[in-house]
Amino acid sequence: MAKPTFKANPIQVQVPASSANLGPGFDSFGLALGMHDRYVAQILDDAGLDIDVTGEGADDVPRTDKNLLVKAMYKGFDFLGGKPKGVAVRALNVIPHGRGLGSSASAIIGGLVLARALVLTGSDKMSDEVLLNLATEMEGHPDNVAAALFGGAVVAWQEDRHGKEVAQSISLAVDPRVRAIAFIPNSAVATTKARKMLPESIPHKDAARNSANAALLVHALTLRPDLLYRATEDFLHQSYRKEAMPASFELMTKLRAAGVAAFISGAGPTVLALHAGNDADAAELIRAAGSKFEAKPLEISPFGATLI
C-alpha cells in the first residue's frame, strides 16, 4: 500500500460517553449518552508527538505514545498505509475515567476517526465496519465502541468468519421519551477486576430469564419505555460484582425497589437509571440517591462520533 497523503488542516471530533450491558445485555447492548469528549489532531512536518490533555483524568493520562487516543490514531494510520512524521493532539475530557461510562471507547473511536479524517482517502479505505473492528480489537468487545461510533442504542456482537472474529452492530431508534440519569461515585473500578469476579457458569434458570429480558429490552428501548424496569433486570453478571461496588449496588437496589429501571453501567461503578419522566421526576430520583454520588441527568445521544 502506498504511503498515505495527510491533510494539513487540524481535525476535531467529539465522541459521546456510553453505557454498556443495560442490565441483561452483557457485552452486547450499548447506549450513547449526551456527554462528550473532544479531540483535535494535526499533522506536523517535524517528527515528534505533541500532546495536551485537559479535563477529567488529565493528570493520569500519559503524554506519550502510550496515550490511548494516540495508540488508536497510530493503529488507524497503520491500517491506512503508515504513520506521519509527527502529530499534535489536544484532548478535552469530560467523561469520567474508570466509572463504566465508556471513556476508553471514546478515546479509541476518537483516535480512529481522527486518523481516517487526516488521510486524504481515509473514508474510502476505512469503512465504519472496518473502523468498528479495529476499535473492537483494542477494546476487546464491541458494545461501547459501537455506541460511541454510531450513537443511540446498539446491539453489537462478534461472529466467526473463516476463523476470524468479526464485530457487527445494528442501531436501534430509541424512543424519544427515554432519558437517563448517571449516578457517578468518586471511586473507580477497573474493568479487568470486574470481569474477574464473574463465574464460569450460571444456573440455567437465570440464563433463561436473562435471555427473555434482553429480548424485551429491544422493544422497551424503541417503543415501550414503560417496560424498561422489567427489561433491565439482570441475572447474569451484576450480583457477582457486588463486593467491588457495594454503595453502587445498594443504590441500584434502592432505585429498583422503587420501580426505577436502574442498573450498573458497564463494569461500574456508575449506576444508570432510564426513565420517561419530566424534570420534576428526574429531580426526585436525584434526591433519593443521596450525597454519595454525583447525579448527572443525560439525554440519549442520537449521534456517535462527529467531526466538528
For residue 192, pLDDT over 80 is answered with no
3-state SS, residue 10: coil
Q: Name the average pLDDT for the chain.
A: 94
Residues of the chain with CATH 3.30.230.10: 11-172+303-307
Which of 82-96, 98-112, 284-298 comes out lowest in average pLDDT?
284-298
For residues 269 and 244, the answer to whether their CB atoms sit within 8 Å is yes
Segment 269-281 mean pLDDT: 94
Segment 110-114 mean pLDDT: 98
From the options 3.30.70.890, 3.40.50.300, 1.10.3720.10, 3.40.50.80, give the CATH code of 179-298: 3.30.70.890
Residues of the chain with CATH 3.30.70.890: 179-298
Q: List, for residues 99-108, the tens digit of each pLDDT value.
A: 999 999 999 9
For residue 278, pLDDT over 80 is answered with yes
Strands 179-184 and 261-264: unpaired
Q: What percent of the chain has pLDDT over 70?
A: 98
Segment 53-71 mean pLDDT: 95
Strands 48-55 and 25-44: unpaired
Residue 306 pairs with which residues in a beta bridge?
Answer: 14
pLDDT, residue 291, reads 82
C-alpha cell at 297: 441527568
pLDDT, residue 155, reads 98
Question: Confidence band (pLDDT; 50, 70, 90) for 134?
Answer: very high
For helices 128-139 and 103-118, what crossing angle results, to 10°? 140
pLDDT, residue 202, reads 83
| Contact partners, residue 303, CB within 8 Å, separation at least 6 | 16, 32, 151
For residue 49, pLDDT over 90 is answered with yes
Cα separation, 220 vs 292, in Å, equals 30
Cα separation, 59 vs 56, in Å, equals 8
For residues 13 and 305, the answer to whether their CB atoms sit within 8 Å is yes
Output the pTM of the full model. Answer: 0.95
DSSP H helices in the chain: 68-80, 103-118, 122-125, 128-139, 143-150, 191-196, 204-222, 228-231, 246-257, 279-289
Cα separation, 22 vs 41, in Å, equals 33
Q: List, for residues 7-31, the tens digit of each pLDDT value.
A: 999 999 999 999 999 999 999 999 9
- The CATH classification number of 11-172+303-307 equals 3.30.230.10
Chain position carrying cell 433486570: 233
Query: Based on the number of CB atoms within 10 Å of its own CB, is 250 exposed (0-12), middle (13-18) or buried (19 or more)?
Result: middle
pLDDT, residue 194, reads 67
The one-letter amino acid at 177: R
For residues 116 and 72, the answer to whether their CB atoms sit within 8 Å is no
pLDDT, residue 242, reads 82
In this structure, the number of other CB atoms found within 10 A of the CB of residue 176 comes to 11
Q: From residue 173, how far is each of 170, 190, 303 by CA, in Å?
A: 10, 31, 11
Question: Confidence band (pLDDT; 50, 70, 90) for 187?
Answer: confident
Q: List, for residues 227-253, the tens digit of each pLDDT value.
A: 999 999 998 888 888 888 999 999 999
pLDDT, residue 191, reads 67
Segment 81-93 mean pLDDT: 97
For 61, what's the count of Cα atoms within 13 Å in the CB-facing half-sphere? 25
| Maximal C-alpha separation, the chain | 61
